[in-house]
Amino acid sequence: MNLRYFVERLGWAAFVLFGSTIVIFAILHVIPGDPARAMLGPEGTPEAVAKLREQLGLDDPLVHQYLLWLGRAIQGDLGRSILLSQSVASLLGERLPITLLLGLYALSFAVLIAIPVSVISATRRGTAIDYGGRFVALIGLAMPSFWLGLMLVLLFGVVLQWLPVFGYVSPRQSAVDHVRHMILPAAALGSAYAAMIMETTRNSLIEVLHQDYVRTARAGGLTETLLLYKYAMRNALIPTITVIGIQIGYLMSGALVVESVFAIPGMGRLLVNAVLSRDYPLVQGAMLVTVLVFSIANLCVDLLYAVIDPRVGKA
């Protein structure tokens, strides 16, 4: 990987991140309506509203407010949550790892299912197995993750009683219980993701398998296994990585709701509760951290390209 490509991608991530801080700030400050009024609800007296406005610095000029917020955010100070009267940064620090673990499990689940299925589908193109696999994938894409989660709870938790249905156990407490609690949420969150990865990988594998170099290798007498895994897969996986990268956003959106289904105390649930109670500092902080994680993930994907395909970034 050359340095220039690396610096370019890093600069791009920094630009997007900076832009997103403006969007986050603008959403909650420029849209008509008084955040202090909204936070206090109908019971808020004019005096209480005025006090909160002062406390939040809402009477200062917008640019001033933005720079102050950004400056503090860079130093790791995201303000205090109104709902939980705790520092937003420490709240997010507690909750983010849980969401990241959930996302990681869902991603692993999706990849472990999608890649083998797409190889089977692509090599048996047009057969009943291919159509069956694709149809199941399409249904996976059409199912809301939270509903799939509930149906999994019904089947594995209530009817079969194999797995716990709600709650979260930290891996430090008990690794086994941690895994048992995360299986259903990861499956619920990862299914639609698996469907997207599968469709892309299958199509790109079919395309690659029709290319000249594969035909030549086959004519040269390579076994189908070697051909598939050593020669075809490497090229076929490039679009797969794109989809995995782009759809991490989908995964993060899904985590918001899946955490609510399984009562997992992650960042998604925290953000939902923050929006429900209009806890603006917490909403801003959670959005900012989400974008940060998403940007880092995208940056990693960009760099991964260059590792897999040495041509990337050379032009």
Partner 1 sequence: MLDSFFIELRRSPVLALAAALILAAIAIAVLAPVLAPKDPNLQNLRATLAPPSAGFPLGTDEYGRDLLSRMIFGMRNSLIVGAAVVLLSGLIGAVLGISAGYFGGWLDMVVMRLADIMMAFPYLVLALGLIAALGAGIPSTIVALTVAFAPIYVRIVRSKVLVVKEEAYVEAARLIGVRPRTIAVRHVLPNVAGPMLVQGALTFAFAVLAEASLSFVGLGVPPPAASFGNIIAAGRDHIIDAPWIATSSGVAIVALVLSLLILADGLRDAIDPYQHRL
Q: For binding to partner 1 (CB under 8 A), which residues are involved?
A: 15-17, 19-20, 22-24, 27-28, 31, 33, 35, 38, 125, 138-139, 141-147, 150-151, 153-154, 158, 202-203, 206-207, 248-254, 256-257, 260-261, 271-272, 274-276, 278, 280, 283, 287, 290-291, 294-295, 298
Nearest to partner 1 of 214, 222 (CB atom): 214
How far apart are CB 58 and partner 1 at their closest, in Å?
13
Residue placing its CB nearer to partner 1 in the complex, 235 or 290: 290
Tokens of 188: 């619920």
Q: How far is the CB of 117 from partner 1 (least distance, A)?
A: 16
User: Alpha-carbon distance 278 to 77, whole Å?
Assistant: 19
- 87 pairs with which residues across the strands? 80
Q: What tokens does 310 get?
A: 């040495």
Number of C-alpha atoms within 13 angstroms, CB side, residue 118?
Answer: 29
Is-contact 167 181, C-beta < 8 A?
Answer: yes
Which CB atom, from 3 or from 160, has the smaller least distance to partner 1? 160
CB atoms within 10 A of CB 44: 17
Smallest distance from the beta carbon of 220 to partner 1, in angstroms? 26
CB of 139 to partner 1, least distance (A): 6
Closer by beta carbon to partner 1, 170 or else 277: 277
The least distance separating partner 1 from the CB of residue 37, rounded to whole angstroms, comes to 11
Shortest Cβ 81–partner 1 spacing (Å): 13
Report yes or no: 28 and 284 within 8 Å, Cβ to Cβ. yes
Tokens of 102: 């959930």
Name the residue nearer to partner 1 (CB basis): 147 or 213: 147
* Residue ranges in 210-221 assigned as alpha helix (H): 212-219
Smallest gap, in angstroms, from Cβ of residue 231 to partner 1?
Answer: 20
Of 16 and 50, which CB lies nearer to partner 1 in the complex structure? 16
Helix (H, G, I), strand (E, B) or coil at 143: coil
Cβ proximity to partner 1: between 149 and 313 the closer is 149
Min dist. Cβ of residue 173 to partner 1 (A): 25
DSSP state string for 221-281: T--HHHIIIIIIHHHHHHHHHHHHHHTHHHHHHHHHHHHHHHT--SHHHHHHHHHHTT-HH
CA distance linking residue 103 with residue 41, whole number of Å: 35
- The rounded distance, in Å, linking the Cα atoms of 133 and 121 is 7
Contact indicator for 99, 272 with CB cutoff of 8 Å: no
Task: Give the closest residue to 102 by CA, choosing from 243, 300, 257.
Answer: 257
- Rounded distance between C-alpha atoms, residue 108 and residue 274, angstroms: 29
CB of 250 to partner 1, least distance (A): 7
Residue 40 three-state SS: helix
- If the CB atoms of residues 92 and 261 are measured against partner 1, the closer one turns out to be 261
Q: Which is nearer to partner 1, 43 or 47 (CB)?
A: 43
